[in-house]
A = this chain, B = another copy of it.
Amino acid sequence: MGIPETVSKGMQQTNALFRSAVIQNRQIDALDKVYTSDARILPPGAPSIQGRAQNKDFWQQAISGMGIVDAELKTVNAEAVGNDVIEIGQATLTIEGGQMVAGKYVVHWKQEDGIWKWHTDIWNLNQ
C-alpha cells in the first residue's frame, strides 16, 4: 500500500531537516524533530541505543568522529502500516575529503506532535 501525499511530504521535510540541520550544520538539537521521544537507533558497530539524550550523543560522536559532511536519503519503498509507515531507503554519506559511503536503512515512522518522525532507525553499509 502506498502512502498519502501529505505523509510523503512530511517524511521528506523530516529527512531534509536531518540533512541540512543535523548533518550539514551540526545542529544536534534538531534531532528532537527527527526522532520520536523514545526512538531506538540500531547502528552498525555498536549496541542499540534509545531515547533523546543517547541518540544525540550518538550522532554528535558519529558526525564528528567519522567526519560526515552530507547524508543523502532516498526512499526505495514506503508502506503505510496502520497509522505508521515502514520505509526502506538508500543512504549516501559524504565524508570530509569527499569519500562517499553507500548504505541502506529501514525506518519505522510515527507521527508525534503532528510531525512525522523516525521511531526505529537501523542501517548498514553495502561494502
Residues of A within 8 A of B (CB): 40, 42-48, 76-77, 80-84, 86, 88, 104-106, 108, 120, 122-127
Given contacts A42-B106, A82-B82, A106-B120, contact A126 B88 (CB under 8 A): no
A124 touches B126 (CB 8 A): no
Shortest CB-to-CB span from A7 to chain B, Å, is 14
Shortest CB-to-CB span from A36 to chain B, Å, is 12
A-B contact pairs, 16 of them (CB 8 A): A40-B77, A40-B88, A42-B105, A42-B124, A43-B124, A45-B125, A45-B126, A45-B127, A47-B104, A81-B82, A104-B122, A106-B106, A106-B108, A106-B120, A122-B124, A124-B124
